[in-house]
């Protein structure tokens, strides 16, 4: 978007900037580099955060089993191998559904309860992905621990809407989900949904609470899903970044003369400095980096701090000792 001076202003200026479009383009390329095919640049932010939610960071974790956990006969070796991968911090992607290769895939179980499911098997396709198994393993992850909840047959009715998974978490490790517990709730009215009813509601993308026992009710452990099934965490993060970038853009163009004056103090061409074009080139949790293309100037925005934005030459940002 191009902002410019009015015809009544004596000093002419223009600022060409669209930080949200730049942000979407950056995440589009990140998805491509991760091996995904984004549907469009317009939706790349939401798709990127959906993919990030699906991913399990590779780090060593302790394996903890629920008291209800039961491994089916003949699958002990497969379970042991999977546990070893968890404890060694190996990549677990091979055991996940192949549908996750689509960045627009919605894992409703994960979005709802923050529980991952895996094929429990030792048989793999030539491409390294696990073959479909007769059993599914359900695990709840934190940064340090993998909580093995239960194994169910793939043919189990309403497999991914089995509310026993939430009950197992509550009965074994209530501290993990205490922030999602609703206080002062007597019961769900008129009755708590059965697994079949829960499954139907989830497939219709209707948010539902789980009553593990009378008076003990949990809000969706994974944050829930939007009307299209997308993770609300992913939608929230996408909205957060777009709102932040739009605020920065409005702040920059609200005082154009001060901004352009600051650029003029750095560059040598006053005439060119009055016609500027900013592009977002790097994003992290700590800072944003903008490049002013016409005058070769860098602008840093520091996040989560009171430090003011910084304008400088690229050489000042990355000094060389050579």
Distance from the first to the final alpha carbon of the chain: 39
- Report the C-alpha gap between 311 and 244 in whole angstroms: 19
User: Under a CB-based contact definition with an 8 Å cutoff, are residues 273 and 12 in contact?
Assistant: no
- Report the C-alpha gap between 41 and 139 in whole angstroms: 33
- Which residues in 176-260 belong to E strands, given as ranges? 181-182, 210-213, 216-218
Q: Is 238 exposed, middle or buried (0-12, 13-18, 19+ CB in 10 A)?
A: buried
- Which residues in 85-143 belong to E strands, given as ranges? 116-119, 135-141
pLDDT at 99 over 90: no
The 216-218 sheet, strands edge to edge: 181-182, 216-218, 210-213
The conformation of residue 100, written as its DSSP 8-state character, comes to G
Give the per-residue pLDDT at 265.
86
Cα radius of gyration rounded to whole Å, the chain: 25
Q: What is the DSSP string of 32-91?
A: HHTT---S-GGGHHHHHHHHHHH-------EEEE-TT--PPTT-HHHHHHHHHHHHHT--
Residue 281 — very low, low, confident or very high, per pLDDT cuts 50/70/90? very high
- Which helix (H) or strand (E) segment is 129 a member of? none
Per-residue tokens: 196: 């079949």
Residue 163 — very low, low, confident or very high, per pLDDT cuts 50/70/90? very high
- Report the C-alpha gap between 202 and 107 in whole angstroms: 11
- Report the C-alpha gap between 59 and 78 in whole angstroms: 20
At 176 the three-state DSSP class reads helix
Mean pLDDT of 273-300: 91
The conformation of residue 153, written as its DSSP 8-state character, comes to E
212-244 tens-digit pLDDT = 988 899 999 999 999 999 999 999 999 999 999
Residue 282 — very low, low, confident or very high, per pLDDT cuts 50/70/90? very high
Give the per-residue pLDDT at 11.
75
pLDDT at 322 over 60: no
Measured at the alpha carbon of residue 69, what is the angle toward residues 199 and 95, in degrees to the nearest 5?
65
Q: Tell me the torsion sign for CA atoms 182, 188, 192, 193.
A: negative
Give the per-residue pLDDT at 19.
96
Average pLDDT, the chain: 91
- Report the C-alpha gap between 144 and 80 in whole angstroms: 19
Domain boundaries, the chain: 2-26+234-317, 34-223
- Report the C-alpha gap between 51 and 45 in whole angstroms: 10
pLDDT at 100 over 90: no
66-78 tens-digit pLDDT = 999 999 999 999 9
pLDDT at 10 over 60: yes
């Amino acid at each position: 978007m191009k902002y410019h001076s009015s015809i009544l202003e004596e000093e002419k200026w223009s600022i060409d900037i669209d930080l949200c479009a730049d942000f979407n383009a950056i995440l589009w390329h990140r998805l491509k580099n991760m091996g995904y095919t984004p549907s469009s640049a317009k939706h790349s932010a939401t798709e990127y955060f959906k993919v990030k939610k699906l991913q399990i960071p590779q780090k060593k974790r302790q394996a903890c089993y629920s008291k209800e956990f039961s491994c089916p006969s003949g699958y002990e070796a497969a379970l042991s191998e999977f546990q070893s991968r968890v404890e060694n911090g190996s990549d677990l992607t091979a055991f996940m559904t192949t549908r996750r290769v689509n960045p627009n895939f919605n894992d409703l179980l994960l979005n709802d309860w923050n529980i991952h499911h895996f094929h429990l098997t030792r048989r793999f396709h030539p491409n390294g992905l696990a073959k479909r198994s007769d059993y599914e393993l359900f695990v709840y992850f934190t940064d340090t621990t993998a909580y093995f909840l239960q194994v169910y047959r793939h043919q189990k009715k309403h497999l991914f809407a089995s509310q026993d998974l939430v009950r197992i978490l509550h009965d074994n490790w209530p501290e993990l989900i205490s922030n999602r517990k609703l206080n002062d709730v007597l019961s769900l009215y008129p009755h708590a949904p059965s697994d079949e009813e829960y499954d139907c509601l989830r497939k219709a993308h209707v948010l539902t609470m789980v009553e593990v026992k009378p008076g003990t009710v949990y809000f969706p452990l994974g944050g829930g899903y939007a009307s299209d099934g997308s993770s609300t965490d992913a939608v929230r993060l996408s909205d957060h970044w777009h709102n932040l970038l739009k605020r920065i853009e409005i702040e920059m163009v609200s005082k154009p003369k001060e901004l352009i004056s600051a650029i003029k103090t750095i560059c040598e061409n006053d005439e060119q400095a009055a016609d500027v074009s900013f592009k977002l080139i790097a994003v992290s949790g700590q800072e944003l980096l903008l490049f002013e293309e016409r005058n070769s100037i860098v602008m840093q925005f520091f996040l989560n701090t009171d430090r003011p934005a910084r304008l400088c030459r690229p050489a000042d940002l990355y000094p060389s000792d050579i």
